[in-house]
Amino acid sequence: MENTVLKAEDFNAYFGQNQILKNIRLEIRKHQVWAVMGPSGCGKTTFIRCINRMHELTAGATVSGSLKLYGEDIYKMNPVLLRRKVGMVFQRPNPFPTMSIYDNVISGYLLNHIRLTKAQKDEIVESTLKRAALWLEVKSTLHKRGTFLSGGQQQRLCIARALAMNPEILLLDEPTSALDPISTAKVEELVYELKSEYTILIVTHNMQQAARVSDRTAFFFLGELIEQDDTKVIFTNPKNEKTQNYITGHFG
Amino acid sequence: MIQPKNKLTHLDNELHKLKAESIKMWALVLKQLHKSRTSLVNIDKDLAREVILSEKRVNAFELKIDRDCEDIFALFTPVAVDLRFLLAVLKINMNLERTGDNAETIAQSVVDLPAHFDRKLLEITRVVEMFDQANIMISDVMHAFDKEDTLIARKTFKKDDLLDEINDNSTAIITEYIASNLDKNLTGQALYIYSIIRKLERVGDQAKNIAEEIIFYSEAKVLKHQPKGKKSGLDE
Amino acid sequence: MVILLSLISTLPLLLILFYIFKKGISAINWHFLVSLPKPVGETGGGISNAIVGTLMLIGVAAVLAIPVGILIGIYLSETPKGRIAYNCRLAVDVLQGIPSIVIGIIIYEWVVVPMGGPSSFSGSIALGLMMLPAIIKSTEETLKLIPEALKESSLALGVPYYTTVLRVIVPSGMSGIMNGVLLSIARVVGETAPLLFTAFGNHWMNTNIFKPTSSLPLIIFKYATSPYTEGHKLAWGASLILIIMILVLNLITKLVERKWRTPF
């Protein structure tokens, strides 16, 4: 079924003896924006880091169960190649400080020794920055260092950097937590626009953001996937009491 | 993708869609009113039955718009003018549905009119004139909503005067008619006309309510429960 | 109050500099810089071989110590825990504390004796050993300050681990690493004791690293301990040159650090 981008079946994750994720089952289709929300410590960040196998970089981290990307078992793939197919944007904007904006965008290619002609590079930089809604703001300063931009611009640069690799799924780990409200709004609008070309998974502890931005929402609590449904349903009429309690602010 | 400065956000798009849906419902309700009026003027019972059947669609619209408002509240937690707009749409929705109900009830009355209807009743009560004015009021507030023109909305309050006048006179006129025509048939007809007049009075009320909501959301001014002179804001 | 204290603390440095300047400036001229030393007791002569020797010693020491030091520093910053890393750090600390003359003796035993005689090369090894702790420590500290997020975002792009370290992390820390390197050079440029048994000194100009060589500290030592005033004058001149070299190195360090600093 080519429409299913990511499928998790009875997926578990551990840090040593601690079980962080319990029997996660979900299915993400193409061009959907999924929000993963829940209180601190519910396992949402762990889950997203399992998708690109960053979870196992921590000593003692293990997983069990099945997690597939377009039908291929993620844990049987070469992790480096997997990560080129999965784009990730982190909470704190972190463009590479020694590189210019131009180089930052194509850093995935540069650092992986993938040869590109100047024309190809120019094209990728321009089209990706346009898609990240940053082109107009930086097109005359492409050769300046990335760290001279404002926080919101840096984060859009990081998004462009991830998009440049044409990922099969884009993972956003609380991308606006460190940004001011205007930049946050801009990034949210960007996610809404990117939906038509990409499949996106956004982890957020801000449930209003989850409501504004996503088509489907998954609610995690203490490592379990409590409820997953259309965002409209979750926010107007959730089926699980825990979900309702969380959304109405009764805990977490 | 070029980013113009005043680009529409996701929420803006949803609000625009909601407005368009409301206008569609309005157009349907207006059509019901017009058909109802024509069926009364021509005592066209078939046309009246069409109105009764179409009432379902009005109800369906109401449910949909309610649900859409609920979704927008839940998903976007709007504030300020967006919040007022949504609250106004919810109330306007309710009023339009009742107007639709009224159009249907009037059509039902037409269907139930006994045979050999006395046209003189229509003339002396000026019920058609009242109907026309009520329809104009509903049409006016639709334009006011569409264009966000509070001036048009305010004029509605004055237009209601005519409805009040005809309504106030109707009791005396109909009582006179019944007294001078002691016929069961004619009395029945007069009572139907009386109830139609009452319904039209309510349509006028609904138009005024809608006008208040439009002014509320555009200007954040609450005009409910104010005396009439203050509402129109025009010099009397 | 603060200004007063700062002045007091800089005062000794200024006095020393002033004194050396006064005593040494009279010896400095072009001739001094480019000619070889005359036999002891004669007037004239210069320190050209000492200058060349110092540069040679430092140069080779840097080539030996810098790559090794940076790599060890990278290893330690990437391995916060573990027995090997713990023992490694311990070793670096101990090495830093070993007196320079002891290093000289050891290198004598390990390098000079097997090689059959003193050489600039053995001197460079001794100096290199002394440079290592400073380079390792500053590299480790600099890299530890780099936010983890930088490494993660590189790994998330599918960049393999070693490429990430070498092409993202290290370049980001280049300012601090260079700082450590330059400071370690400034420290060893004036070391005398380890050179006594290794480079040994040489009257003549020498550019072969496998032969003994003169250097500024050695020549200062030799002439300052000689009975001739002419020699003393040369010693002061050489001291001034040495001080100037150290000052310049420190200034370069500051400039490099500011220019290369990467904001996070």
Three-state DSSP at C261 gives coil
CB contact under 8 A, C156 and A87: yes
Does this complex have an ipTM over 0.85? yes
Residue of B3, B11, B77 lying closest to A133 (CB–CB): B3
CB contact under 8 A, A212 and B75: yes
CB contact under 8 A, A90 and C149: yes
**CATH for the stretch C56-215:** 1.10.3720.10
Nearest one of A147, A158, A161, A60 to A107, comparing CA atoms: A161
Give me the count of residues in chain C.
264
Nearest one of A162, A94, A157 to C264, comparing CA atoms: A94
The residue of A98, A114, A150 whose CB has the most chain C CBs within 10 angstroms, and thus the best one to mutate to test that interface, is A98
CB contact under 8 A, B1 and A211: no
CA–CA separation, C85 and C83 (whole Å): 5
Domain B10-232 class? mainly alpha
CB contact under 8 A, B75 and A235: yes
Q: What is the pLDDT of residues A211-227, one digit of tens each?
A: 999 999 999 999 999 99
Is B220 at the interface with chain A, CB within 8 A? no
Residues 179-198, chain A: which have Cβ within 8 Å of B? 185, 188-189, 192-193
pLDDT at residue B3, rounded to an integer? 41
The residue of A50, A56, A80 whose CB has the most chain C CBs within 10 angstroms, and thus the best one to mutate to test that interface, is A80
Domain residue spans of chain C: 56-215
CA–CA separation, C235 and B54 (whole Å): 113
Nearest one of B93, A221, A185 to A238, comparing CA atoms: A221
Domain residue spans of chain A: 4-247
Its CATH architecture, for the domain A4-247, is: 3-Layer(aba) Sandwich (3.40)
Q: Do chains C and B touch (3 or more CB pairs under 8 A)?
A: no
In whole angstroms, how far apart are CA B71 and each of A244, B67, B68, B77?
16, 6, 5, 10
Strand A169-173 vs strand A200-204: parallel, antiparallel, or unpaired?
A: parallel
Q: How many degrees, rounded to 5, is the angle at CA A225 between CA A220 and CA A227? A: 90
Q: What is the pLDDT of residues C9-63, one digit of tens each?
A: 889 888 988 888 888 887 777 777 777 777 765 666 677 888 888 888 999 999 9
B-chain residue closest to A236, CA distance: B74
Walk along chain B (236 residues) and give the pLDDT tens digit of each residue.
344 445 678 888 999 999 999 999 999 999 999 999 999 999 999 999 999 999 999 999 999 999 999 999 999 999 888 899 999 999 999 999 999 999 999 999 999 988 778 888 888 889 999 999 999 999 999 999 999 899 999 999 999 999 999 999 999 999 999 898 888 888 888 999 999 999 999 999 999 999 999 998 888 767 777 776 666 654 43
Structure token digits, residue B82: 């967006």
Structure token digits, residue A67: 């997690």
CA–CA separation, C22 and B117 (whole Å): 131
Q: Which chains touch A (3 or more CB pairs under 8 A)?
A: B, C
Helix (H) or strand (E) run with residue A22 in it: strand A18-29
Helix (H) or strand (E) run with residue B122 in it: helix B119-125
Q: What is the pLDDT of residues C100-115, one digit of tens each?
A: 999 999 999 998 888 8
Return the number of other C-beta atoms located less than 10 Å from residue B14's C-beta: 19
Taking contacts as CB-CB distances below 8 angstroms, the residues of chain A near C263 are: 97, 147
Helical spans, DSSP H, in chain C = 2-25, 30-34, 48-78, 83-97, 100-107, 113-115, 120-145, 148-156, 161-164, 170-172, 174-188, 193-196, 216-224, 229-260
pLDDT at residue B232, rounded to an integer? 62
Beta bridge partners of residue A9, listed in sequence order: A66
Nearest one of A2, A31, A37 to A228, comparing CA atoms: A37
CA–CA separation, C156 and C81 (whole Å): 24
Q: What percent of chain A has pLDDT over 90?
A: 73
pLDDT at residue B229, rounded to an integer? 64
CB contact under 8 A, B10 and A192: yes
Strands (E), A30-179: 33-37, 61-69, 72-73, 86-89, 169-173
pLDDT at residue B1, rounded to an integer? 38
Structure token digits, residue C222: 């030799």
**Residues of chain A whose C-beta is under 8 A from some C-beta in C?**
52, 54, 57, 80-88, 90-92, 94, 96-98, 107-108, 111-112, 147, 158, 161-162, 165
Residue C159 — φ and ψ, nearest 5°? -90, 130
Higher pLDDT, C204 or A36: A36
Q: Do chains C and A touch (3 or more CB pairs under 8 A)?
A: yes
What's the DSSP call for residue B18?
Answer: H
Q: Which chains touch C (3 or more CB pairs under 8 A)?
A: A
Report the predicted TM-score, pTM, of the whole model to 2 decimal places: 0.79
Nearest one of B194, B200, B42, B37 to B124, comparing CA atoms: B194
Residue of C156, C164, C172 lying closest to A54 (CB–CB): C156
Contact A159, A187 (CB under 8 A): yes
Higher pLDDT, C253 or B222: C253
Higher pLDDT, B221 or A153: A153
pLDDT at residue C23, rounded to an integer? 84
CB contact under 8 A, A192 and B2: no
